[in-house]
Structure 1
């Protein structure tokens, strides 16, 4: 079932409730610059096993509305709260990839984990995507500024270049074109504004607020959210489980999709 959920006047979020009769709901939050179709190879398997898979396009991306504001982590977390309340979700597993992993952590802190019983972070952009004086593990600020600049100059080429560093395992030309198409569905301004948010958003304190069982999955070859970020998440979230993906980059849900799906189902139960 497909829904448009109004999160504030004039802004609707698209949600695809793929198996609404299923058990153990999982809300899949995609990272920049894609949409909920990013998890196609999770939906395919999990719905056959009876899970309720809910894909959400974050504002500015996919089929969701594309306002010119609201691309900070607080607003994104508030959008999640509206979706969870509207669908009356409870005992939910919240899964966030990349930037959405960071937003999921913000949600847990800002909304005290409302409706969420388990958290999954995969290649999450936390506690900081960029290097900082007390955190030397992320991307360089200049690299992010270059992404923003390239977005405004030639967004298709920027997205194509990003796709080349996303996966560690070889992908076909057809798959590469499909991945590019996901990014092209986003608004150009949303693509740039989310990248701007990386420059100032941090989750060091937010991680301390996570109080549900948490699974962290991270590829050692990740060139976007580097592997030490996953290590930092594991240290910062009490009682978390950390699973290393030896043959994955940023797209670990496809690089090692069988392992990813197995770890996810074992964790959700």
Structure 2
């Protein structure tokens, strides 16, 4: 089932609700600069195992509205809350990849984990994607600033340059084209504003507020959200478990899809 949910007067969020009568619900929030379709290799498998899979396109991306505002973590988390309230979701697994992982962490902190029984983080951009004086594990802020500038100057080239960073092994032209297609569906301003958010915002104080069992899946070769971020999340979130993916970069749900699906199913059941 596909439909939209209004979260502000002029903002509608696209939802793909797969197997709505499944035994257990997993709500997926995608990362930058993609859409819910990045999880197709989960949506192909998990519904057959009895799971209800909900994918949303965050504002500015995929088939959702593309306003010129509202790309900080607080507003993105509020969109998630609107979807949860409208769909009356309870006792479900909330899952996020990359910036989507940061968004769901902010949701858990801002709304006290309302309705969520378990949290799953995939290569999450937390507690800080960029290096800080007291956190030397992220990317230099200058690298993100260059990406933002390239969005404004030549977004197609930025997407072509960024695609290989998401994968551990060299990628085919077909895979690069797939990444490009998903990324180019987004609004350019949303792509830039979200990059400003994960460059400038952090979630150090959000982590201790998470009270539910948490699964952290992270590729050890991740060049976007470096593996020490996963270790920092493990230290900061009580009752969390970290599973390293030895053959993956940032797109572990594609590069080791069988292991990824197995770990997620085992956790969600």
Which TM-score band applies after superposition, normalised by the shorter structure? over 0.9
Unaligned 5+ segments in structure 2 are: none
The equivalent residue for 2:262 is 262
After TM superposition, the structure 1 = structure 2 runs for residues 233-248 of structure 1, keeping only pairs within 5 Å, are 233-248=233-248
1:90-105 superposed matches below 5 A: 90-105=90-105
Q: Does 2:228 align with 1:216?
A: no
Quote the Cα distance in structure 2 between the aligned partners of 1:161 and 1:106. 29
Matched residue of 1:133: which SS?
coil
Other-structure match for 1:228: 228
Distance 1:117 1:248 in 2: 27
Q: C-alpha separation between the residues in 2 aligned to 1:160 and 1:18? A: 30
Kept in 1: contact 2:127–2:202 (CA 8 A): yes
Match of 1:20 in 2: 20
Q: Deviations over 1:81-140 (max 9, x none)?
A: 000010111111000000010111100000111111000001000000000000000010
Give, in whole Å, the separation in 2 of the partners of 1:115 and 1:159: 35
SS class of match (2:206): helix
**Residue aligning to 2:88:** 88
Give 1:239 deviation, angstroms.
1.4
1:52 corresponds in structure 2 to: 52
Q: Any stretches of 5+ residues in structure 1 without a counterpart? A: none
How far the C-alpha of 1:226 sits from its partner, in A, is 0.2
Q: Is the 8 A contact 2:164 2:170 kept in 1?
A: no
1:29 aligns with 2:29: yes
Shift of residue 35, structure 1, vs aligned partner? 0.1
Q: How far has the Cα of 1:170 moved from its partner? A: 4.0
Aligned to 1:205, the other structure's residue is in SS state coil
* Partner Cα separation in structure 1 for residue 179 and residue 45 of structure 2: 20
TM-score, with length taken from structure 1? 0.99
Over the aligned positions, Cα root-mean-square deviation in angstroms equals 0.7
- For 2:5 and 2:138, the matched residues in 1 are separated by 34
**Partner Cα separation in structure 2 for residue 52 and residue 169 of structure 1:** 31
Residue 70 in 1 paired to residue 77 in 2? no
Match of 2:10 in 1: 10
> In the alignment, which residue of structure 2 is the partner of 1:253?
253
- Paired with 1:167 and 1:181, the residues of 2 have a C-alpha distance of 16
The answer to whether the 8 Å contact 2:72/2:194 transfers is: yes
Distance 1:166 1:156 in 2: 16
